[in-house]
Amino acid sequence: MSCLFSLHENILRFKQDKHGVVGLPMRLTISIIIGTVALFTIISFIMSPCLFPSKMIITIYPLTNTIPGDDPFPLNPPITVYVNTSEGHPIKGATVLIKGLSGAGSGSTDENGKCVIPITVTLASGLHEGYLDVSVKAPCHESFSQDDMIKIVRSS
């Protein structure tokens, strides 16, 4: 019986305590806001796992190519691109795009960070040189883009 009386006293005390009831909606609102911020942070991290992307080192061979005549001409040798981390480790799976002079080519790097891209270019009549643009993208690395990086020269 004393247990029942004690429960009844606690219920009466709770009904008389106006501060606990008034503060409840505010606590609930704050909890929802904190939970939403935490959920947003977790989802952002899942969608973009790299908070601090690192830089890449791009090496291209050859940087100057010679072609004969005005007709579309496949570059020989094809353009070879090496993609490495700033520490010199190869980056596998980087996407390389080379475009310009009415031609384009793309590919992905292998386990050695190497990508060979065959491309056919055309120098307009009257021009003796032109340039190709290069862009490279890899997960967790800063994108690389350089206009006029590869020079194409018409042989005399």
The arithmetic mean of pLDDT across residues 116-137, rounded, is 92
Is residue 85 very low, low, confident or very high in pLDDT (cuts 50, 70, 90)?
A: very high
Identify the pLDDT of residue 89: 95
Q: What is the pLDDT of residues 38-65, one digit of tens each?
A: 998 888 777 766 778 899 999 999 999 9
Which has the minimum average pLDDT: 67-76, 83-92, 97-106? 67-76
Between these two residues, 71 and 102, which has the higher pLDDT value?
Answer: 102
Where residue 111 falls among pLDDT bands split at 50, 70, 90? very high
pLDDT score at 80: 96
Q: What is the CB neighbour count within 10 angstroms for residue 75?
A: 21
d(CA 96, CA 94): 6
Element (H or E) spanning 41, and its range? Answer: helix 18-47
Retrieve residue 6's tokens. Answer: 């004690």
* Residue with tokens 């050695």, as numbered in its chain: 112
